[in-house]
Amino acid sequence: MSTNDIGFKAALEEAKQGALEKGVPIGACLVSKEGKILGRGHNMRMQKDSPTLHAEMSALENAGRLPASAYAGSTMYTTLSPCDMCTGACILYKVSRVVLGENNTFVGAEELLRSKGIEVINLKDAECEALMKTFIENQPGDWNEDIGEE
């Protein structure tokens, strides 16, 4: 796993698109065991007034209805450590691996993922972190709302 993976590249493109839209700059991409992109997307809180379409949820939603077998061996790439909701979605559909861009700006439920046998890899990517730092600095209220904090 590296920042050259097609899944990570797509997730980062999605995060940048989110930033351009003045939204929460987090992107995600679900890649099948065979290396095919099943779905990709970015956080849609501002764009769709959505409290559920975090980046990973958007990627799952854009992948559409799939049988359980389609998620087997899949990897969820996301530019940020996944929150409790997105973690739960990865557990529900039995994604095999979560590759995250960074967890310096937010630490999600990585331990819960691991406890369910899901591999978690942190790419410690500076670009992902810079996107989040800028966003949190400029739109602290939007960020707190997105993670259910005051």
Cite the active site residues. 56
Alpha helix segments (H runs only) across 6-139: 6-20, 45-48, 55-63, 68-71, 84-92, 110-115, 126-138
**In sequence order, which ranges of 21-125 are alpha helices (DSSP H)?**
45-48, 55-63, 68-71, 84-92, 110-115
User: Quick one: which of 1, 6, 37, 66 contacts a second copy (CB under 8 A)?
Assistant: 66
- Out of 91, 107, 121, 136, point to the residue binding a second copy (CB under 8 A): 91
Segment contacting a second copy (CB under 8 A): 11-19, 59-67, 99-107, 127-135? 59-67
Residues found near a second copy in the complex (CB under 8 A): 45, 49-53, 57, 60-61, 63-69, 71, 83-89, 91-94, 109, 112, 144-145, 147-150
